[in-house]
Structure 1
């Protein structure tokens, strides 16, 4: 599956960071992006984001999925170098390399004050162990939720309240398909993971060296964002972002419900969008999530959902079976979602059709709409107003001969005031022509 433009899946300074790094690596920029997000989320232990009437932590659990030698380790290696430059204390003392079981993991988290980043380059082992150890799968789910985790040992039990733990895992597509079980899918072990494919997209010469200033520059930007995020404590939405959040929520859940295989993976897609959008805002030194933050986060989550669908589509497990909808249904739903009109960027990428195909649909009106900033008019798609059908003319049939004539009831007419006619003007008399002068018969003789 070809990845969409990563620049649509991030905003602001984080996009600039990936722009700087991408030309110097051979692997998918999306892997770099989510690796940076994962490291950044792990360094904000006390910061939360608004979700409905409550809040939730910002931790991310990321799974890079690619074949051996396809850049999983290299993508994380670049991000880890940036993170170490930004916060060497955390990267030196709060990394847990590998998961050794539920009780051992809780003990390792407790040893780091409840604040850690798990890095496991063999995450298939974790998923397989979760089948045998029910407490391990539950512990991983609780860590994403930020819920209390505890061991069940009678002697010296260990408990961690409000843990803040992000996860960076690596897995191959074959391992991912082999590890999926119905119990884990339905239990929520997978819908807390952001699963991103990684593959080689270019070849670089061995002589190619990344400029020395790039890592320190991005590290300094991340360090400023970490300090800002730790002071912020809570990230909320701008006023106009609430409407965008409602639209995105409906859009993603509709996408998930169309595929039987995606339902279990997409149950928490909107929580993932909110966390990622908050990280975009904090990296830009803001505490308010904008519409652009939400759209970029939704594009990233949508990409992960499509990736999962691709992976499970090749498995012997229940395949993703779509209930196909017509193009007209998709277009109508999308336009109604935006209140009766939608721009090209709000409509076309989400219905999988070109502008010409949508224009050809019956009942769709397309035209320019001036922009308030005086810029180029936007092309807007609307639903044509339904015109009421004219009522059919009633057919008159001759009255039967036996029908009795109806008695006519006189209708009283309103009394009218008599109007006095205006006096007529005398008709103009035609002008009488003057008598013609008689011609002198002697004039010629004279």
Structure 2
């Protein structure tokens, strides 16, 4: 069964022993082979650890983070990953039981503290009282004196594990409320140390090696994806893979024991070889292929348009990570032409997935009721604001783009009160970096305050936009620019200092509202700073 218009994987993806594993499972399931293959690659990359790596620009561990994008029921996302899980549970039961978690923690701090707690349980570590051996940074970014009573928990280097984020929608929604989430994931994809500090505890996750497998329907992915996700840099660490039911199989049968045993033995050989393997290097023919053809093809496609740039910014190192996995599949430390071609085919399929999803799965939205906007400058004392706090405010505002961000998010992510936000905002405002606006009272009866970045922006060359979707879907309805400009007679200018740098009115983001649905009150959001785990064994992995 073929979905008309869907991206089609190049058959070279299924070369070698890893491809043979996927092909051996295919007759017994209606799951998409590319979904099974991506899940197998991710779990293999997690279990082999940090030692096998490729040197491309920097140290590249063989971690990949696939996102399986498929329609509900027809995508067979869960079925594809489950086949890979059953295979690895048979081959490596202890790893799968102790180190694979069924969901992603709720914040960047919880990811760090929970993973450190799990690592200490399994591998042991030292706990340092009062930070005697670790200099912490103060609010100005400079090393300060040890903080009395703070315990530091440090994992041993190279903790291996995996997360299964079967509800990626929740993760995307949380990442909009937690500015530390994207930064934490960026560092973990690189395999670098990440830290989380509260008033009583400091957690340090040293050189983690954790895979991530996500599931989400394409419509929800497009709807919940935002410019702030792209600005945070976490999206180009992901590997979007479109999946769809491969055939109609009315009674899928269990994988025969002989097939399972053969695949298990192959995986065990790969992992045993990886334990003795260090750097994986390309041979001369593979380097020639990269220099003469593949680099140019991938570079051209990854810079095709703005959306592609946001997702394919790491396509080059991703290709070499995948090539390293294909070489491990052959139990070789040399990356061949076949390995590199297979890896490039996966990377190219990722880019086809991005183009397909953002062309075909636009979601109809309903415009919010019109609300007027008026300037509402900060009137705090800039001398009371610390430079680190000003930089953090500017960072959040810049990530939000021209639409601006509500003041509540700044209060939450910066761990400050309204008075301090007024002082910090006044300092940034004096430098011409931000501007504050007030929206007229909405249906809830309260004012909404927006903080908009007005400083210098990175220059970008014009990019070609993707073609409009077919009539099958309706493009999002945007609020007209002129609606946001208050009529002169309707604006009452508050008695506050005028903003030093004029800037355009912000665009108000619109969100879809279900018909005749009541909006439930939002649950309280746990703060990142000061709201971490309260003990060595506390956290997500309890």
TM-score (norm 1): 0.69
Partner of 2:243: 198
Q: Deviations over 1:241-293 (max 9, x none)?
A: 11222331221111122223211111100111101110010011001111111
1:81 aligns with 2:86: yes
Q: 2:268 is matched with which residue: 210, 223, 233?
A: 223
What does residue range 272-287 of structure 1 map to in structure 2 within 5 Å?
A: 272-287=318-333
Partner of 1:106: 112
Q: 2:70 is matched with which residue: 42, 66, 73?
A: 66
Name segments (4+ residues, structure 1) moved above 3 Å: 314-320
Cα gap change, 1:259 to 1:9, in 2 (>3 Å): same
1:244 aligns with 2:289: yes
Q: Quick check: 1:81–1:215 contact (8 Å CA) kept in 2? A: no
SS at match of 2:240: strand
How far apart in 1 are the matches of 2:466 and 2:249? 40
CA-CA distance at 1:232 after TM superposition: 0.3
Cα gap change, 1:265 to 1:320, in 2 (>3 Å): farther
CA-CA distance at 1:322 after TM superposition: 5.4
Q: Quick check: 1:6–1:29 contact (8 Å CA) kept in 2? A: no
Q: Quick check: 2:161–2:210 contact (8 Å CA) kept in 1? A: yes
CA-CA distance at 1:71 after TM superposition: 0.8
1:321 aligns with 2:366: no
How far apart in 2 are the matches of 1:199 and 1:50? 32
Q: Deviations over 1:169-203 (max 9, x none)?
A: 11110111012111211331111111111111211
Cα gap change, 1:207 to 1:189, in 2 (>3 Å): closer
CA-CA distance at 1:3 after TM superposition: 4.2
Partner of 2:167: 122
Q: 2:40 is matched with which residue: 36, 40, 44?
A: 36
Q: Deviations over 1:38-64 (max 9, x none)?
A: 110010112242234642111111111
Q: Deviations over 1:412-435 (max 9, x none)?
A: xxxxxxxxxxxxxxxxxxxxxxxx
What does residue range 419-434 of structure 1 map to in structure 2 within 5 Å?
A: none
Partner of 1:21: 25
SS at match of 1:195: strand
CA-CA distance at 1:117 after TM superposition: 0.3
What does residue range 411-426 of structure 1 map to in structure 2 within 5 Å?
A: none
How far apart in 1 are the matches of 2:354 and 2:463? 11
How far apart in 2 are the matches of 1:252 and 1:82? 32
1:10 aligns with 2:57: no
Q: 1:304 is matched with which residue: 338, 347, 350?
A: 350
Q: Quick check: 1:143–1:149 contact (8 Å CA) kept in 2? A: yes
**228-237 or 31-40, larger mean C-alpha shift:** 228-237
How far apart in 2 are the matches of 1:19 and 1:3? 19
How far apart in 2 are the matches of 1:214 and 1:75? 17
What is the RMSD of the two structures over their aligned residues, measured on CA atoms? 2.1
SS at match of 1:315: coil
**87-96 or 238-247, larger mean C-alpha shift:** 238-247
CA-CA distance at 1:207 after TM superposition: 6.5
Partner of 1:426: none
Cα gap change, 1:209 to 1:48, in 2 (>3 Å): closer
1:95 aligns with 2:100: yes
Partner of 1:262: 308
SS at match of 2:241: strand
Q: Quick check: 1:241–1:294 contact (8 Å CA) kept in 2? A: yes
CA-CA distance at 1:79 after TM superposition: 0.2
Q: Deviations over 1:283-329 (max 9, x none)?
A: 11001111111111111110111111111224379997259xxxxxx
Cα gap change, 1:319 to 1:310, in 2 (>3 Å): farther
SS at match of 1:321: coil
* Bigger Rg, which one: 1
How far apart in 1 are the matches of 2:176 and 2:463? 21
Partner of 1:354: none
Aligned length: 323
